[in-house]
Amino acid sequence: MGQDKALLRLGGRPLVEIAVEKLREFCADVSIAGNRDDLAVYAPVVREQRVEFGPGAGVEAGLKACTQPWAMFIPVDVPLVPAELLRLWCHEALHYGKTGMSVSFLGFTEKQPAFCLLRRERLASFTRLLDGGERQLEVLLNLSASADGDASWMYDEWELYGNPKHSDYQGPDEATLRRWFKNVNSPEDLARVDAILSREGQRA
């Protein structure tokens, strides 16, 4: 991309502001994981203690700062995922968390590890795995759950909105679901996402 994605503008707003605004619709507290003090104008910044450890360092920092039983993490570069989907995911995951699930992913057809929801108590096992040199986020999340005898689970959008094979299905179609998980990895991607929002008369 040539610059930090957090401050890229979509519809006149920085991507980080879009992500923070969505989480504030249903989360008790919202913070930004990273070592960027300039982002504090959007939400409190939680500083990472590990350098060049990838997204796992941000999850660890977020869990350390978390004051709630669960913590949700989302990336800033997938701006089309609607807040309503995140809320539905949170509601379902917390409900089934009562039966032994402590890590959840969100995704369409495949896991999106950057969209993860996990219990705060996963911190100890997560940190041990980082100390051991593991850096792949999906592995860190799955192993941190299984290390304590818990389960992890991926939620597909169709599980949250209903079964598209049923005649009364009112949820999004496959093309919409794929578009929601469009990553902004280049100026061309950003332009395409901006065009989608303009064409549909929406904002991220």
Buried b / exposed e over 147-167, threshold 16 CB at 10 Å, is eeebebbbbebbebbeeeeee
Give pLDDT, residue 198.
83
**pLDDT, tens digit, 9 for 90 and up, residues 31-65:** 999 899 999 999 999 999 998 889 999 999 999 99
Q: What is the mean pLDDT of residues 142-170?
A: 69
Residue 15: name the closest of 71, 107, 81, 112 by CA: 81
Which DSSP state fits 48?
P
Residue 142: name the closest of 109, 116, 110 by CA: 116
Instruction: Tell me the pTM.
Output: 0.88
List the structure tokens of 146: 């299984």
CATH value at residue 87: 3.90.550.10
Cα gap 15→117, rounded to integer Å: 20
Q: Is the pLDDT of residue 158 over 90?
A: no
The region that residue 18 occupies, defined by phi over 0 for left and psi between -120 and 50 for alpha, beta otherwise, is alpha
**Order of all β-strands in the sheet with 101-107:** 70-73, 112-119, 101-107, 151-156
**pLDDT, tens digit, 9 for 90 and up, residues 64-95:** 999 999 999 999 999 999 999 899 888 888 87
Cα gap 166→154, rounded to integer Å: 21
Band of pLDDT at residue 20, cut at 50, 70 and 90: very high
Give every CB contact of residue 178 below 8 A, 6+ residues apart in sequence: 108
The region that residue 176 occupies, defined by phi over 0 for left and psi between -120 and 50 for alpha, beta otherwise, is alpha
* Residue ranges making up the domain that contains 152: 5-200
- Domain count along the chain: 1
